[in-house]
A and B are shown apart, each in its own frame.
Chain A
Amino acid sequence: MTTPGRVVATDGPAGPGGPVGAGRTVLRVDGLSVGTRQTPLLSDVSFSVDRGERVGLIGESGSGKSLTALAVMGLLPEGLGASGDVRLSARTPAARNLLGVGEREMARVRGDGMSMVFQEPMTALNPTMRVGDQVAEVMLLHRTQPSRSAARRRVVELLGQVDLPDPAHLARSYPHELSGGQRQRVVLAIALANDPALLICDEPTTALDVTVQATVLDLVVRGVEERDSAMLFITHDLGVVATVCERVLVMYGGRIVEAGPVQEVFADPRHRYTQGLVAASDLAGADGRRGRAQLPTIPGTVPPAGRFPSGCVFRTRCTHATQACASQPPWTPRGKHPAGAAAYGHACVHPAGGDDD
């Protein structure tokens, strides 16, 4: 995918995993911070996603998951600024820090090198435009199809690939004539139309009926597998992460507090926040819960933006917090991982899994 001539210049922090383009890394985020002038919303977020890899980003609402995705896409709302280093190794343009790239160039990457599926399918499509035209637009815009008629043929193929019935007919309908699940398939077809190197999914199944969720998830996974695309999958559903992703990033208070392979992190969480999340989810399944025992919850609620404590962001809700947590806990790598130290470890002074519990 990347030729030696397009290997990234060493004009920025290369990160522990090596520069983008050297291997299979598609997206590398280093020290990403986002906020208004007064309020920091994301602090020092670092991670990478490899080609063909599916990485989950989990956390409660308000922990900064969507903001991370929007910062990568360069679609932050007005008034928010981003600093740090975001590199995408894709067809366009050569791996430069996307945060410093102008809107015109950034627009060329969006929908082509990377694309995104949003949470709410009911409002994600233009109600006054036929869905086929909305799919065709992204190909014509990036000139990945030579002509309008070629794009139209490809639209029918794409809609068929996301298992929509009678795609030729469906391409001529308007969004209001489709169900939520069907609309999300159309959104997925748009996102996959140009075979993106990176697909970002922001809670793509949360707004759907439970019966449709599994099917759509399956289509998402199939879509990225066929294209060997990297995927960043945002959700608050740990069960979904466990079935879809290989690696997981746990986010809280605008920071990544724990990261690692899904199996290890969920079976043996280290950060007290992850521990709480895992305990509060029903990952263990029905037989894991005895009788009518209540699911444990994390005490307190997520503070509003900018009201997280200094030091460990979780310490105001953590039963293990001590004076030591008042300063930012250092990142503690946990075993070797090919994607680097940031990919497997945690930032907790009193990690779980020790001898005391």
Chain B
Amino acid sequence: MILRLLQRLVVLVTSLVVASLVVFGFMRVLPGDPARVALGVNASDAAVAQLREQFGLDRPVPVQYLDWVGGLLTLDPGIEFVSRAAIGPQIADRLQVTLWLVVASMVLALVIALPVGLWMAVRHRHWDGVVLSALSQVGVAVPAFLAGIVLISVFAVRLRWVPSGGWVVPAQDPVGFLQRLALPTLSLALVQAAVLARYIRSAVLDVLREDYLRTARAKGLRPVQALVRHGLRNAAVPVVTVLGLQLATLLIGAVVIERVFVIPGLGSLLLDSVAKRELLTVQAVVMVLVVAVLVINFVVDLLYLVIDPRLRTGAR
């Protein structure tokens, strides 16, 4: 068990190092000098040289890399080229917004998908199970931004129940916050829930065919009892895998929904920084997303070990 844990930790750290190299390297191999790119073509050579010196861009690349990593580790990725605004606080602000959106959609998706998926599996031979299954198929095919646009046109434009977009801080205006959170969350959650429910359905169907479920019935457990006590934990492994993937997809996919609902999240910051050619900000945001995805994968790996004792011991 300890060995497995260490193994996963080594994998996590290695991937983080590799990811940081890739992100840093990728930004540097892009044609053009970052300082020149940031200042624009009309800037004087002197101004560019000054910026390069200020930001240490004239130092050897390995030194720059170590400096950058050091900044990340101390949670201080530096300041922007032009506005001179600190990057760290910007990311923290935007990350909060995105996290609200991602966590709320994931929780909502799970709350919808769990009962629906179970129902589809248990009733897969009955008309209601088949209808739900067909509906979830349709849900899988709908892109989140389309769901967002439809939701806006119905609930914001026609019914005027909620604003069509924007953002307020929850501490300032809790009701307004929830109103603005509702539609983007729903548009992300509905699609995710459809996908998740299908995975839950197939995982539970697999488990229902297992011999140990028949043993459980032979012990005197009623079908639903047997499924809950002996089936769900075994069905959880494939579902957790999908949950991890979905969380990562949400984090990155939120960019589109943030655009649709004019939400100042991490995705918007990324797009804005690209437009402003703020290389350091882009680098930092991308790195934050990469770290988040890697940590999610790490947690998923740990959950496997918690769920299935077979994965804890011995070689695969």
Contact = CB atoms under 8 A, between A and B. Distances in A.
A128 B215 CA distance: 14
A331 interface: no
B152 to A, nearest CB: 44
Interface residues of A, number: 33
Contacts of A110: 217-220
Interface stretch (B20-28, B206-214, B293-301): B206-214
Contact of B308 (A115, A118, A128): A128
Nearest to B231: A126
Contacts of B52: none
Given A107-B222, A110-B220, A125 B212 contact: yes
Contacts of B307: 128
A187 B215 contact: yes
Contact of A128 (B125, B220, B309): B309
Interface string B173-195: 00000000000000000000000
Given A126-B230, A127-B308, A176-B309, A75 B215 contact: no
Given A111-B219, A118-B211, A138-B220, A78 B125 contact: yes
B310 interface: yes
Interface in A34-88: 73, 75, 78-79
B216 A107 contact: no
Interface size grouping (class) on chain B: 20 to 34
Given A118-B211, A118-B214, A111 B220 contact: yes
A177 B309 CA distance: 10
Contact of B214 (A75, A79, A174): A75
B246 interface: no
Interface in A103-121: 103-104, 107-112, 115-116, 118, 120
A118 B309 contact: no
A137 interface: yes
A124 B234 contact: no
A176 B311 CA distance: 10
A104 B222 contact: yes
B115 interface: no
Given A124-B212, A125-B215, A176-B309, A103 B234 contact: no
Given A126-B234, A127-B310, A108 B220 contact: yes
Contacts of B218: 73, 75, 110-111, 115-116, 118, 191
Interface of B: 125, 210-212, 214-223, 229-230, 233-234, 307-310, 313
12 contacts: A73-B218, A75-B214, A75-B218, A108-B220, A109-B220, A111-B219, A118-B214, A118-B215, A118-B218, A127-B308, A128-B308, A129-B233
Given A75-B214, A118-B218, 8 more contacts: A110-B218, A111-B220, A124-B214, A126-B234, A127-B234, A177-B313, A190-B215, A191-B218
Interface of A: 73, 75, 78-79, 103-104, 107-112, 115-116, 118, 120, 123-129, 137-138, 141-142, 174, 176-177, 187, 190-191
